């Protein structure tokens, strides 16, 4: 029996409640930022950050910004005066800070509702049109990287509805704001360090490409283009797949196709391996299956040890692969359980979410079925 890799297409037609909502929120993805609880207090700031969205702040007055400039001059040979002029034009984006805060407590996760936002007719129809138009590039990516076309199509559909919604924040504004005024959270310093590195990558990307850094637009977290890559990911994983001599994820869907495939391979994708298998768990007290929950985003358990603890595949799953237990909480309804193989977890490196990875898989399959393949 072939492994059951994805959820039934019949469920998607019941999922119209959110229509064609685009996902600035899902762009948190590449930023991988948890949403903290309180507004940022810039301890290093000479001036208090304004409460209004897109207000001017002279970031050059902030001591941490001057330290950042020192590092860019020393590490990458930037002109201090040029950087001060550039950062002097940055605007503080309060909405970026607000969107990093946690959702109100008390509302349980709901896989069915989440899935309905992405596996829906608008994205499916757009996916069919995209696949038809770029079939050659998708086939070439599958041959070169071993990533099936439906996975690439699923990611592009979830991320931006095939380039329709790539974000309209100035990347320099969003990333600088989060680099120096990230909201209060236990991991605030780590997150600011991450965004400072992305600010450096933004400046380097612009310099290498010979473009104005303020011309880059994207999500509130700074993700860019059709595939919503952070600037650092563009520099590390972007590829010139259309052969025009430059990597352009804002305007070249072919570059986006190749870059997504390359990203997945560089994050552990293995040619020809399966994704997920439906599973059930033994609800009896003390069976031990709960020990496989919350074990990170990797496949690291043998099937025999999971079976012994009460985790049972509902279709034939290869004994020679490693797995992780995927739990898709459904509000008040029963949780769905799956055995995620290595390639499932490669998708979670794009966005650290089981819901995201399963939506990518399901949307890609729905597009393939609608296309009649």
Annotated catalytic residue 198: no
pLDDT of residue 285: 60
Contact (CB, 8 A) for 213 and 206? yes
Q: Model pTM?
A: 0.85
pLDDT of residue 54: 63
Name the active-site residue from 26, 120, 150, 159.
159
Question: Where are the domains positioned within the chain?
Answer: 276-340
Cα gap 338→362, rounded to integer Å: 14
Higher-confidence position of 18 and 355: 355
Per-residue pLDDT at 45 exceeds 70: no
Cα gap 213→174, rounded to integer Å: 12
Listed in sequence order, the residues at least 6 apart from 126 whose beta carbon sits closer than 8 Å to its beta carbon are 157, 161, 162, 164
Contact (CB, 8 A) for 356 and 350? yes
Cα gap 233→201, rounded to integer Å: 9
Read off the pLDDT of residues 269-325 as tens digits, 9 standing for 90 and up: 999 999 999 999 997 767 789 999 999 999 999 999 999 999 999 999 999 999 999
282-287, Cβ contacts within 8 angstroms, sequence gap of 24 or more: 282/309, 282/310, 282/311, 282/312, 284/310
pLDDT of residue 101: 85
Phi and psi torsions of 90, nearest 5°: -75, 145
How large a percentage of the chain has pLDDT more than 70? 84
| Residue count (the chain) | 373
> CB count, 10 Å around CB of 32?
15
Give 267: exposed, middle or buried? Use CB within 10 Å, 0-12, 13-18, 19+. middle
């Amino acid at each position: 029996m072939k492994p059951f890799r994805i959820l039934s297409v019949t469920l998607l037609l019941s999922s119209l409640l959110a229509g064609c909502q685009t996902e600035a929120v899902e762009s948190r993805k590449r930023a991988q930022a948890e949403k903290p609880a309180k507004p940022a207090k810039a301890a290093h700031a000479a001036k208090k950050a304004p409460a209004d969205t897109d207000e001017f702040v002279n970031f050059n007055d902030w001591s941490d910004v001057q330290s950042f400039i020192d590092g860019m001059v020393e590490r990458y040979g930037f002109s201090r005066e040029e950087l001060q002029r550039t950062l002097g034009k940055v605007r503080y984006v309060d909405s970026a800070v607000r969107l990093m805060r946690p959702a109100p407590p008390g509302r349980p996760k709901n896989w069915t509702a989440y899935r309905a936002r992405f596996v829906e007719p608008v994205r499916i129809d757009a996916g069919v049109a995209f696949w038809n138009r770029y079939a050659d590039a998708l086939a070439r990516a599958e041959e070169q990287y071993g990533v099936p076309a439906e996975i690439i199509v699923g990611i592009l559909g979830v991320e931006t509805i095939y380039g329709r919604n790539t974000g309209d924040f100035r990347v320099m504004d969003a990333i600088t704001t989060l680099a120096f005024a990230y909201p209060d959270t236990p991991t605030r310093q780590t997150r600011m360090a991450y965004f400072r590195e992305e600010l450096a990558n933004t400046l380097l990307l612009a310099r290498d490409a010979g473009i104005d850094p303020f011309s880059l637009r994207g999500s509130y977290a700074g993700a860019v283009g059709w595939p919503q890559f952070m600037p650092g990911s563009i520099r590390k994983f972007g590829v010139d797949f259309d052969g025009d001599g430059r990597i352009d994820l804002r305007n070249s869907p072919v570059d986006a196709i190749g870059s997504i495939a390359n990203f997945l391979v560089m994050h552990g994708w293995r040619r020809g391996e399966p994704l997920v298998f439906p599973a059930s768990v033994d609800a009896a007290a003390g069976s031990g299956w709960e020990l496989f929950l919350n074990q990170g985003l990797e496949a690291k358990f043998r099937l025999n040890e999971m079976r012994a603890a009460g985790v049972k595949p509902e279709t034939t799953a290869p004994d020679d692969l490693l797995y992780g237990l995927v739990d898709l909480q459904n509000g008040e309804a029963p949780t769905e359980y799956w055995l995620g193989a290595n390639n499932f977890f490669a998708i979670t490196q794009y966005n650290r979410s089981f819901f995201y990875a399963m939506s990518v898989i399901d949307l890609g399959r729905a597009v393939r079925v609608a296309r009649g393949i």
